[in-house]
Amino acid sequence: MKNFKTGRYRLIVTSKVLDEGVDVPEASIGIILSGSGSRREFIQRLGRILRPKRKAAILYEIVSRKTTEVGTARRRKEPL
For the entire predicted model, the pTM comes to: 0.69
What is the length of the chain? 80
Q: Write down the mean pLDDT value for the chain.
A: 81
Is the predicted pLDDT of residue 69 greater than 80, yes or no? Answer: yes
pLDDT-based confidence at 80, cuts 50/70/90? low
If one counts every other C-beta atom within 10 angstroms of the C-beta of residue 48, the result is 20
Contact 48, 20 (CB under 8 A): no
Closest CA to 59 of 25, 26, 24, 33: 33
